[in-house]
Amino acid sequence: MDFLYKYKKIVIICLAVLSLMLMAYTALDRYQPGPVERGFGFVVTNVQGFFMNIGDWFSDRFDFLVNMNTLHNENQRLQEQILMYQIENARLTHVDEENRVLTELLDINRRYSDYPTKGANIIAQDPTNWMDTFTINLGQRDGLAVDMVVLAPGGLAGRVSKVGGNYAIVTSIVEDTSAVAAQSHRTGDWGVVHGDINLSSTGLLRMEHISLESDITIGDEIVTSNISSIYPPGIHIGYVVSMGQMPNNMRYALVRPSVDFSRLTTVSVVTELFTHEPIGIEEY
């Protein structure tokens, strides 16, 4: 180790230059992992998957112990709910069939449930408090590509931002740099849904660039818009919980996402790309 101390300055300068070069190289374009990184990723993600399972197992046991006395009541409540859903389901099957026939008549070729999806487990999350990205256990081998849409129980979760051989990094919609072109399902008024790190403790999203004339109100359902360059239209995001006005004569809305990001363990990836020419708002 003596040579290290002998050439102290050179070592430090070399490391600094190396990291600056890496920064310049990876900042140029939307960088994707090379072979070395992928090989390394293969090892790391497998270990991470193992540890995540251990963590989830303990967390489940802990939840079980904490909730033991409420389980009976909850069970009864759920039984009743199932009965309700069964009745509802029978009705909906009928409506769905009717819808299918009518859709065929109208020649609409795309529906929400038609997207080919693949289930994935979350195996790691970003170690900093600044970003909201996570790793999933599917990669290029499973047909994933950058900008594929990621759904979770409840609605939109995010998009794939980096793909390795057997893993992929997902940027969630609550990430500070994420932007989704969205609209109110009821009125069709347009806006951009941003993550906001300052809202991270409340779990809310901020929808900006809503024009003053729009009549979005509290309780409106927000879905992805058809002008989005990444997301297909009509995917559920969440509900408006409050409205406000920005200094530049635009309104903003706070949106509660329907996906519970703090308890997410599985997601599904839509293995089909919807990307077309970017219109500029969803680039960070």
Partner 1 sequence: MRVIIIFLIIFLNFIIQTTLLGHAQVMGIMPNTALIIVVTYAMLRGDVEGALVGFCAGLLADIFFGRIIGVSALLMMFTGFFCGKPFKDFFKENYIAPIILVGIASLAYEFMFFVFNFLLLGRTNFLRYFGQIIIPTAVYNLVLCVFIYRMMYGINGLLEKREERKRGFMRKRRG
Q: Does 127 bind partner 1 (CB under 8 A)?
A: yes
Q: Does 48 bind partner 1 (CB under 8 A)?
A: yes
Q: How far is the CB of 95 from partner 1 (least distance, A)?
A: 40
Q: Does 8 bind partner 1 (CB under 8 A)?
A: yes
Q: Does 126 bind partner 1 (CB under 8 A)?
A: yes
Distance CA(263)–CA(189), nearest Å, equals 31
Q: How far is the CB of 219 from partner 1 (least distance, A)?
A: 26
Q: Does 57 bind partner 1 (CB under 8 A)?
A: no
Q: Which of 11, 71, 84, 92 binds partner 1 (CB under 8 A)?
A: 11
Of 40 and 112, nearer to partner 1 (C-beta) is 40
- Reduced 3-state DSSP string for the chain: CHHHHHCHHHHHHHHHHHHHHHHHHHHHCCCCCCHHHHHHHHHHHHHHHHHHHHHHHHHHHHHHHHHHHHHHHHHHHHHHHHHHHHHHHHHHHHHHHHHHHHHHHHCCCCCHHHCCEEEEEEEEECCCCCCCEEEECCCHHHCCCCCCEEEECCEEEEEEEEECCCCEEEEECCCCCCEEEEEECCCCCEEEEECCHHHCCCCCEEEEEECCCCCCCCCCEEEECCCCCCCCCCCEEEEEEEEEECCCCCEEEEEEECCCHHHCCEEEEECCCCCCCCCCCCCC
Of 117 and 133, nearer to partner 1 (C-beta) is 133
Q: Does 13 bind partner 1 (CB under 8 A)?
A: no
Q: How far is the CB of 185 from partner 1 (least distance, A)?
A: 29
Of 47 and 101, nearer to partner 1 (C-beta) is 47
Nearest to residue 279, comparing CAs of 192, 208, 170? 192
Q: Which of 39, 55, 188, 244 binds partner 1 (CB under 8 A)?
A: 55
The token pair that represents 189 in the structure block: 């008024």
Q: Which of 69, 201, 248, 249 binds partner 1 (CB under 8 A)?
A: 201
Of 117 and 125, nearer to partner 1 (C-beta) is 125
Q: Does 250 bind partner 1 (CB under 8 A)?
A: no
Of 31 and 112, nearer to partner 1 (C-beta) is 31
- Where do contacts with partner 1 occur on this chain (CB under 8 A)? 1, 4-5, 8, 11-12, 15-16, 18-23, 25-27, 31, 33, 37, 40-41, 44, 47-48, 51-52, 54-55, 58-59, 123-131, 133, 135, 169, 176-177, 197-198, 200-201, 262, 284
